[in-house]
Structure 1
Amino acid sequence: MADWVHIIIRALSALSILFVLTRILGKKQISQLTFFEYVIGITLGDLAGVISTDVESNFFHGVIAILVWCLVPFLLEILALKSKTLRVWFEGKGTVLIKDGKVLEENLKKERYTGDELLEQLRTKSVFRLADVEFAMLESSGDLSILLKSDVQPLTPKHLGMKMMTEKPNHTVIMDGEIQGEPLAAAGKGVGWLQSELDKLGVTKENVFFGQVDTNGELTVDLYDDKLKVPQPSERPALLATLKKSEADLELYSLSTEHPEAKKMYQDCSEKLTKVIQDLHTLLKS
C-alpha cells in the first residue's frame, strides 16, 4: 500500500476516534477551557497528528495513548463532580481582581496580570472606566466577570416600574421555504393559520427563507428576494388606537349626560380603561 494511502486511512481513523471521544467528554472540551483541559486538548491533537503521519509507528499504540489521555480526564471529571477539592485542584478557582471598587494589586501579581491587561479585559466587556467597576473576578477559564456599580448599571423595565410580559422562545415555523411542523405545533398554531398570515403579508412559503412566530404570536418572515418589502404587523397598534378611542368616547359620554348614575358609570369605565391602556401601552405600541 502506498504511503499516501496509508496516511489518509490513518488520518481518517484518528479523526473518527477523536470525534467520538470528544462527544463522550462533553461540550466543556470545546468551550472556555481550564488549564487542565487545555493541556489535554493540545496533547490529544499532537497524538492524532503523530499517528496520522508517522507510518512507521504502530497505529494501535497511538490509539491506546489517545484512549488513556481521554479516559483519565473523563474519570477525573466524574470524581470532581463529587469533590470540591478535586475541582479546585484540576479546574482551578477564580481570583478576585477588583473588590468594593478597589483593585487588588496582590491578586494581580499572583495571576501575573498587568494593569494594561486588566484594562484590556474590561474594554472587551464594554467597560472603559475602572471607577465604574464594583467587583471583578478572573475565572478559572481565563474570562473576566465583572459587576458594575449600581449607579452605572443599565436601566431595566423593573427599575422604571414597568410590567413586561414574560418572553418566550421564538419558533421557526418556516425554513428554506418548508413548513416546520413541530415548531408550528409548539407555537400553538396550525397550517391554516400560517397560510392566512402569509396571505396577509402577500408572500408564498416558497419565497420565505425564515419564518418565525414570536412571543406575541405574530409571524415575521425573511424572504429570499431581499428587494420585496414585507408589511410590519399592525394588529397591536390598531388595538391600542381602538382602546384610546374607546377611552375618549367614554369621557365624552360622561360629559354629555346629565344623569348622575350614568355619568358616574362612564367615568368609572373610563378610569378602568385608562389603567388598562397604561399597563399595556409598552406591549401594544411596539
Structure 2
Amino acid sequence: MKEWVEILLRSGVLFFCVLFLIRIMGKRQLSKVNPFNFVNYMVIAVVSALISIDMIDISLGLVSLGVWVFFSIAMDYLSLKSKWIHDLINGKAAILMKDGKFMEETLLQVRYTGEELLRDLRSKNVFNLADVEFAVMETTGEINVLLKSEKKPVTPHDIGHPVSPQPEPQTVIFDGNILNEALSNIGFNREWLKVQLDNFGVSLDNVFIAQVDGSGDIYVDLFDDNIQVPQPKVKELLYANIEKCQADLLSFALDTKDMQAKDMYLKNANKLKLLMEKIETYLLR
C-alpha cells in the first residue's frame, strides 16, 4: 500500500476515533477547562497526530490514547464523588479582591499581577475598585466580580415590579428550511408559519432565519437585505385592542341616555381599566 494512502486511512480512522473519545470525555469549552483537562486534550491531540503520520506504532499509540482517556474519565468520576479529589485536580477558587481591596498574598499564590486583575475588571465593565464587593478567580482562570449592593443595577425585583417570564425562543426556519421540531415545541405548525410569511409578503426560500418567541412574535431575517420586513408585535396589539374596547365602552356610556345601559358600560369599562393595569407590565415591556 502506498504511503500516502496509508496515512489517509490512518487519519480518517483517527479523526472519528478522537471525535468519539472527546465526546465520551464530556462537553467542555476549551476556554473553560482547567489546566489538567487542557493537558489531557493536548496529549490526546499530539498522540493522534503521531499515529496519523506513522511516527509511532498504531497499536502502541492506541494503548496510549486509551490510558489517557480512561484516567481522564476516572478522575472526573472520582471528582464527582470526592471534594478532596476535585480540589486536588481542579484546584480551588481564589478571592483576589475583598471590600474593594487587593488580596496581595492570594495574587502572589496564583501568579497574578495587579495590572492583569485591573484589565479583567475592565472587561467586566468595572472601572472603580471601590465598587467591588469581591472578585474571585475560578479554577478555569476566569475572573468573576460581585459589585457592592448599592452599585448593582436595579432589577424589577428590587422595585417590586413584576415582569412576564420569557420562554426560550425557537428557531423555526434556518437557511430556508422549516424546523418541524422547533415548531411543535411552541405548539405551531407549518400552516401557521406559512400564513405568517404570507403576511410579510416573503417566500420561504428567501428566509435565512426565523425565530418565534414565547409570545408568538416572529422575527424574520432575509437573504435579500434590501427588503424591509415589518416585525409584528403580538402583545402590543393585544393591549391596544383591549385599550380600544375600554375606550369604546366609555364612549357608549357618554352617548346613551339609558341610565341602566350607562351604568353597565361604565362598570365594564372600569373592569377593563383594572385589567389593563394588571397586564400592562406583561404586555408592554
TM range (shorter): 0.7 to 0.9
| Residue equivalent to 1:278 | 277
Q: Give, in angstroms, the shift of residue 143 of structure 1.
A: 0.6
Contact 1:29/1:37, CA 8 A, preserved across alignment: no
Which contiguous aligned blocks of 4+ residues in structure 1 show a shift greater than 4 angstroms? 249-268
Residues of 1 paired with 2:39 and 2:233: CA distance?
56
Change over 3 Å in CA distance of 1:247–1:225 after alignment to 2: same
Secondary structure, aligned partner of 1:27: coil
Runs of at least 5 residues in structure 2 that lack an aligned partner in the other structure: none
Q: Give, in angstroms, the shift of residue 68 of structure 1.
A: 0.8
| Residue equivalent to 2:8 | 8
Q: Aligned runs of 1:204-215 on 2, under 5 Å?
A: 204-215=203-214
| Residue equivalent to 1:196 | 195
| Residue equivalent to 2:88 | 89
Residues of 1 paired with 2:242 and 2:93: CA distance?
54
Residues of 2 paired with 1:29 and 1:166: CA distance?
29
Q: Aligned runs of 1:4-153 on 2, under 5 Å?
A: 4-28=4-28, 30=30, 32-55=32-55, 57-153=56-152
Q: Give, in angstroms, the shift of residue 268 of structure 1.
A: 4.8
Residues of 1 paired with 2:77 and 2:186: CA distance?
38
Structure 1 range deviating more: 246-255 or 230-239: 246-255
Change over 3 Å in CA distance of 1:195–1:45 after alignment to 2: closer
Residue 149 of structure 2 aligns with an amino acid whose one-letter code is S
Runs of at least 5 residues in structure 1 that lack an aligned partner in the other structure: none
Q: Give, in angstroms, the shift of residue 96 of structure 1.
A: 1.0
TM-score for both structures, normalised by structure 1: 0.87
Q: Deviations over 1:140-177 (max 9, x none)?
A: 11111111122222232223433222111112222232
Residues of 2 paired with 1:235 and 1:46: CA distance?
54
Contact 1:213/1:220, CA 8 A, preserved across alignment: yes
Change over 3 Å in CA distance of 1:100–1:205 after alignment to 2: same
Contact 1:163/1:279, CA 8 A, preserved across alignment: no
Residues of 2 paired with 1:31 and 1:21: CA distance?
19
Contact 2:215/2:235, CA 8 A, preserved across alignment: no
**Identity rate, percent:** 39
Secondary structure, aligned partner of 2:231: coil
| Residue equivalent to 1:158 | 157
Structure 1 range deviating more: 167-176 or 251-260: 251-260
Q: Give, in angstroms, the shift of residue 266 of structure 1.
A: 5.2
Q: Give, in angstroms, the shift of residue 187 of structure 1.
A: 1.2
**How many residue pairs end up in the alignment?**
285
Secondary structure, aligned partner of 1:28: coil
Secondary structure, aligned partner of 2:81: coil
Residues of 2 paired with 1:16 and 1:182: CA distance?
28
